[in-house]
Structure 1
């Protein structure tokens, strides 16, 4: 018997600590433990210890803690993935950065722009990589459309559209417990980033929103929103529409479109599986009902990209080159959050609202090299 030699130059995997063992955190954990090249899941932190211990046992993760600070203090941890409740995102990101950890944070990066400014300052001072979970960029059809845009397929963008319709049954379980502005901070924020990404070089200037509780009208007076349409004006003159519903009976429906002076690119469609059923009522196909089913590959690819960036920072190597701007950083998080906050203002006033301020320079990846910020 003779073993093959191991290449001594092979880089060490990025050792990742996960914060949050809930629905999304558990999916990220399973990806990090089995399918993300160049990464290893080294620890899990969650104040609710029982699910964290169970997940760690399932995946063979050696370290579990109730306190994320234990991950920040561990010199063996290179990076953290933050998948806890959004009200903790900013504080956890800033603390991780100050501890010298690279950060992948689920959206949104913060609940207010002031909170995000604190993250930006911590990241800039520490010089770590910070990435936000705008997974739609990594979906094959959206990335293909973005590459076509970069090649000039549509000319000058004029009209854009992005939509998210979550699967539903005609009612929304536990709707009364859904935080009031979830529609903008956690759902449409994906569409805002997609529109910004599909309109390279432009900045969002203003928004105007129509929103209502059409699925759960009894909660309208309590401020619940389950249906919304936002119109957006950009600094290059382009106009965009973002729409969302929490209850599409036919399953997930996520789409994007950019129309311009030379043509149009589209991504997404009401998604169906490859299996078909032929019966007395005709042809039918099953549609995804889980986000981790619809975007499974995109979720894994964004973590692989994060691990590659973290390894490059750690090892002093060049950052990954995707051919087009891909990796969403703090500048992208700020744009999308500013749009979400403007949408909230528009709902409260019934009037158009300006999208706040400029993007902090040097925070996160560049936005297609653009410096045009709406004044």
Structure 2
């Protein structure tokens, strides 16, 4: 058994060599303590080979990766449509699983994934990175300590950077319902997490294709606001857009009977330039820049789960709860009505 400064080295197999998988591979190889990228698999063997060579890992097929006894756990960063299948395969091979959001695309798939990990007795952790960002985590601690009293009004914002012309050229490749299942699902998880012990009871959505309207018929919605009512009386809004010209804008706010917490930032540096035209400040331009430390921390926490020193900070049940809100938001949009969550 290899050790690194007293920690057992955790050998990780990565499935999915796209943009997000490449980022996680780099973090495992360079930044997560006592973790090793042991193998990479992808539906495109050449992509797996390129990424594996970059970090001196092995390129495998999925079956070979999940069944390798030398691999301690599996990271799933493939397209969401195959997440449930890969979770089940890894669990049946006895591997702890970390999976990017959304962990599944339907509640039935999510239930099968959870059941498979339960049967195998292996942990499942899901990649909702905002919980690991220092400002969002501090907001949750303040709420737990009673610092804002009872939550009354809540807000979560995700505005992805981009220009209308840029979205128009790439819109055909964006999967239908992306704004709910892959973007706003972060906001749904954040709102559920920042309103602990409360349950969402109603969802109402207004959404449209305002940035690239010509792709609306293909299922691309680029602007959405979702209102969520909780059983403790709190009213929350989740907002998303795909064309923030000024950078990557992620913020959260909880207002309560005793005060308010705010998390999120736009500036990439505290420096402000004052000149003849006024003041100017550089802004964050990508998720990798804004959540760099959070992406590292969520995998560092997972390695502690694999070592048996912790339990998953974001469970399959948490992922199911966020997915339930996302699916209700989609139904609300389709039927133009509030949707009750049972």
TM over 0.5: yes
How far apart, CA to CA, are the structure 2 residues paired with 1:29 and 1:9?
21
1:116-163 CA-to-partner distances (Å, cap 9, x unmatched) read 111011011111110000000111100011110111001111111101
Output the CA distance in 2 between the equivalents of 1:200 and 1:271: 29
In the other structure, the counterpart of 2:331 is 345
Give the C-alpha shift of residue 7 in structure 1. 8.3
- Candidates 42, 48, 53, aligned match of 2:44: 48
Other-structure match for 1:319: 310
CA offset at residue 70 of structure 1? 0.9
1:24-173 → structure 2 map (5 Å cutoff): 24-61=20-57, 63-65=58-60, 67-171=61-165, 172=167, 173=169
| 1:333 and 2:319 aligned | yes
Bigger share in helix:
2
Deviation at 1:9, TM superposition (A): 10
Q: Deviations over 1:317-355 (max 9, x none)?
A: x426xxxxx811111101000000001101110001122
Instruction: Please state how far the C-alpha of 1:192 moved relative to its aligned partner.
Output: 0.2
Alpha-carbon distance between aligned partners in 1 of 2:219 and 2:90, rounded to the nearest angstrom: 34
RMSD: 1.8
* Contact 2:267–2:281 (CA under 8 A) maintained in structure 1: no
Structure 1 counterpart SS, 2:43? coil
C-alpha separation in 1, matches of 2:162 and 2:260:
30
Change (3 A) 1:277 1:8: closer
Q: How many residues are paired up?
A: 339
CA distance in 1, matches of 2:266, 2:339: 31
Q: Give the C-alpha shift of residue 293 in structure 1.
A: 0.9
- What does 1:6-21 correspond to in 2, within 5 Å? 10-21=6-17
- Normalised to the residue count of structure 1, the TM-score between the two structures is 0.87
CA distance in 2, matches of 1:296, 1:188: 19
C-alpha distance in 2, partners of 1:91/1:165? 30
Superposition TM-score, scaled by structure 2 size: 0.95
Deviation at 1:280, TM superposition (A): 4.1
TM superposition shift of 1:282: 3.0
Does the aligned pair in 2 maintain the 1:168–1:248 contact within 8 Å? yes
- Matched residue of 1:174: which SS? helix
The answer to whether structure 1 residue 184 and structure 2 residue 185 are counterparts is no
Give the structure with the larger strand fraction.
Answer: 2
Would the aligned equivalents of 1:342 and 1:353 in 2 still touch at CA under 8 Å?
yes
Q: 1:252 aligns with which of 227, 248, 251?
A: 248
C-alpha distance in structure 2 between counterparts of 1:222 and 1:39, whole Å:
41
SS of the equivalent of 2:246 reads coil
Contact 1:253 1:271 (C-alpha < 8 Å) held by counterparts: no
Shift of 1:182: 0.2
